Amino acid sequence: MASDRDNRLGKYVLKSRLGKGGMGVVYLATDTRLKRDVALKVLSKSLASNADAVQRFLQEARAAAQLNHPNVVMVHDVDQQRGHCFLVMELVTGGTAQERMSLGPLSWVEATRTIADACRGLAAAHQAGLIHRDIKPSNLIRTADGIIKLADFGLAKVPDETKTSGPVTKSGAILGTPQYMSPEQCSGEPVDARSDIYSLGATYFALLTGEPPYVETQPLQIMFAHCSKPVPDPRSRRPDVPAACAEVVMTALAKQRAERFKSADEFLAALNALLANASAADLAERAAADATPTAFQGAPETLDEHQGLNAIDVSAATQPGERAGVTAPYLETRSWSGVTRLLSTTSKRRWLGVAVSAGALLIVTGWWQGWLGRGSGVGNPLPQRQQSGAPVVSPPARAPAPPITLELVAEMPGIQSAIMSVAYGKDGNTAFSGSTDGSVKEWNLNSRSVVQEFKDPTQTIREPAKQTIRAVAANNRWVAAGGDEHRVRVWYQSTGKLRAILEEPRGEIGSLAFSPDGTMLAVGGYSDLWIYDISDYQFSSGRKLGDSSSSPVGCYMVKSLAFSADSRWLAATSWDKKTVAVWNAESGELQRYQRDLPKEPHTIAFVPKTEQLVFGMHQEGLRLWDLSTVKIRSIPTSVGHEARTVAVTADGNWGLVVGPWGGLIRVHDLHGNQQSRSIKQPQEYAAMGVAISPNGLQALTWGGDEGRPRGYINLWSIVAEKSE
């Protein structure tokens, strides 16, 4: 165990680690004299001998210490003890705006109030003569009371900076985080308060849409976009943003400083005007968001018990986007001989070209506060676990559900191989497909075209038999795919860059699912079932479920997975064990299972707004499983039909089912005795799957012939059936 001395810096006792970044580690600590918890930011030993880094670190302390404002993180002290340089700050435990974004874009009211709070803190900084120069979502931190505070003045320009000759901010230096840097920052020009306004506008854009204004692969490409590309309208990525709100964002993002808000106070006035005109419905949505617990709930990382403070010497910085709060490289490019800036003006538009040599300095800033707890959807808890043997009963008499049908909208063109899996994007306008040729593609459903293909640059030439992609999943950040190669690849959805390769699940990959709250990835293999906690954007904490050595249910050949709408429960099928089961997704505890089914189960799905599951079996059609009463109901009209995939309509009344042969789509009434309806597809070969769009108005079907180069994806409208 580490001694008390190992975990003590002067009067501060370190209790646990909250996070780390490029410059050091942030600890939860106790001030033994004042008896209060604080956040202790300790400069890493690897940088402590670097005079430049120490000067920047002390500059942050001096800059932030000038401010005493409710919307700025307060600095209490700066000190050096036992060779460690550290900064003492107030402890803010509500998580960063970047972490809040991991749950999806904010409502426009919540985003506007977040930026308004940040604007107040920024106005105070500007009044003190400080230019922040690194405003971004990960530097906006929320208190337990919901107040946003501006943090991290490590790159701040201080009033007397131009009079100093120190190395921290040489003339011509490029400082900041590329996704949120102003055009003048990107080109190395002098900055003023309006540069911070641009960065805050870029942050506003990200909170509204879920991503920064410019999404490029490389930092220098992003910087070029800030200088040269047109100002994006947030409504192009999120149509429901009010026009007045979009106008404020675009004013803050004006290329020319003179066209932006003149001050943080003027920006704040525009934000307050937006909020004053918010409708009652908008404000109710904001109140619901405020009622959602967002305080720091996860356990902080503990100190290394064998190293004590030796653990402060952090390793190399992580890659951009790999931890919560890390959105991009924290970039400083010096005016060295190895750096060439080529600037030109054409039609009043600046074009930036920056050639960076190997000597250019890249520092990645990490998150330093805790992370958000998972989504707060509640739902009723399941009763005690139930073993097999539940009775099969007939459905009760009820009024018939209004009939529906499908009308073909379009066939995706140019498909040359069988499509084995398709997942809708969160916006419903995109879809992601996996096929027998090993490709993973993103489709724009409006233009009916492929807009991106996801590849593995480390992959060598494979045998054709090893190429099939059998499972694809997507959320607003990631795309995951797996198949015959016994591994899962995960890409950044926005850039197509490979993020991780998961090789723990053994055997072929049969199914994938992201939890609706974005914190988990479930992987079903032909040997194992795994769940990964990805709340911190890492893919290294997989847990195996359904191990027959410790559980009454062994899950093998998992062909289908489904999360409940509130992300609390994970349901899965086990083909060769003829079993369906439900786990608590967070704890991994088995809650329900049904063994020894008449046939092998293909597919499983939760029924919206109920505690029911529907699952489909080989040649046995559909069964409805009520998790609260532990009863299974047969869907009589489906018996004898192959149910490879089922998708449930938004009202919970109808199940769309496809089987492998003939290409037919069958529409089954899940709660009554109405006859099933069959819908013929244009293609007559195998139908592999069906999915319903997030808005419930459309559906996709897909399939093909695994033995020949032909396949299809069809887009359908779900419409009320016309009366005779």
Query: Over 50: is that where the pLDDT of 386 sits?
Result: no
Could you report the per-residue pLDDT of 22-44, keeping only the tens digit for each?
Answer: 567 888 999 999 889 999 888 87
CA distance 251 to 254: 5
Segment 544-573, tens digit of pLDDT: 886 555 555 666 678 899 999 989 899 999
**Rounded mean pLDDT, 390-415:** 72
Q: Which of 436, 466, 432 has its CA nearest to residue 451?
A: 432
CA angle, 571 then 613 then 403, to 5°: 140
Q: Which residue has the higher pLDDT, 534 or 167?
A: 534
pLDDT at residue 126, as a whole number: 93
* Chain segment 299-358, per-residue pLDDT in tens: 344 444 334 444 433 332 333 333 233 333 334 333 322 223 333 333 333 433 333 322
Give the global pTM.
Answer: 0.51
Q: What is the pLDDT of residue 66?
A: 76
**What per-residue confidence (pLDDT) applies to 282?**
61
Identify the top-confidence range among 326-330, 350-354, 460-464, 630-634: 630-634
Question: Which residue would you say has higher pLDDT here, 298 or 551?
Answer: 551
Mean pLDDT of all residues in 653-678: 82
Rounded CA-CA distance 532/374 in Å is: 14
DSSP letters along 171-228, please? Answer: TT-EEE-GGG--HHHHTT----HHHHHHHHHHHHHHHHHSS-S---SSHHHHHHHHHH
Question: How confident is the prediction for the chain on average, in pLDDT?
Answer: 77
Q: Which domains does the chain have, with CATH numbers?
A: 93-304+321-363 (1.10.510.10), 402-720 (2.130.10.10)
Q: Is the pLDDT of residue 84 over 60?
A: yes
Higher pLDDT, 185 or 333: 185
pLDDT at position 168 is 41
- Active-site residues, by number, are 134
Highest mean pLDDT: which range of 145-149, 364-368, 433-437, 703-707: 433-437
* pLDDT at residue 198, rounded to an integer: 97
Share of the chain above pLDDT 90, in %: 35
Is the confidence at residue 366, as pLDDT, over 50?
Answer: no
Q: 3-class secondary structure for 381-445?
A: CCCCCECCCCCEECCCCCCCCCCEEEEEEEECCCCCCCEEEEEECCCCCEEEEEECCCCEEEEEC
Q: What is the pLDDT of residue 349?
A: 37
